Amino acid sequence: EVQLVESGGDLVQPGGSLRLSCAASGFTFSSYSMHWVRQAPEKGPVWVSRINSDGSSTSYADSVKGRFTISRDNAKNTLYLQMNSLRAEDTAVYYCARAGSGYTFDIWGQGTMVTVSS
């Protein structure tokens, strides 16, 4: 079964850091680009970041550029998101998603909640 499982979400103070992980199984992880997408409570999803299959190319939404870093370990079938200088507006459920045909997000994890609050 194709599956993505996120972990690492937590309550963190403004200015703090957090690292999210996404464990992939059921497909050849190293063949796919991967994304992080977040969704604030009662809001629509927002694309956060993308990494290509071998990790050599990354892109970020303007709102997180310079603060977040996406990376991957293909030997461990795991995607990461390092989040620094966190702000209240970063509060959301963070999903990892596989890049599908036609520039889509074809497989999603169940999400992990990040709350930034003092």
Partner 1 sequence: QSALTQPASVSGSPGQSITISCTGTSSDVGSYNLVSWYQQHPGEAPKLMIYEGSKRPSGVSNRFSGSKSGNTASLTISGLQAEDEADYYCCSFAGSDSWVFGGGTKLTVL
Binding residues for partner 1 (CB under 8 A): 35, 43-47, 50, 59, 61-62, 95, 100-106, 108-111
Minimum distance of partner 1 from residue 101's CB (angstroms): 6
Compare residues 27 and 108 and give the one whose CB is closer to partner 1. Answer: 108
Cα–Cα distance for residue pair 34/52, rounded to 1 Å: 7
Contact 72, 35 (CB under 8 A): no
Residue with tokens 């603060």: 67
| CB closer to partner 1, 78 vs 112 | 112
Least Å distance, CB 61 to partner 1, is: 7
Q: How far apart are the first and last CA of the chain?
A: 39
Q: How far apart are CA 116 and CA 118, in angstroms?
A: 7
The nearer residue to partner 1, 52 or 74, going by C-beta atoms, is 52
User: Between the CA atoms of 24, 88, 58 and 106, what dihedral angle is there, to the nearest 10 degrees?
Assistant: 40
Smallest distance, Å, CB 106 to partner 1? 5
Beta carbon nearer to partner 1, 16 or 115: 115
Nearest to 21 by CA among 5, 38, 33, 37: 5
Question: C-beta of 116: minimal distance to partner 1 in Å?
Answer: 21
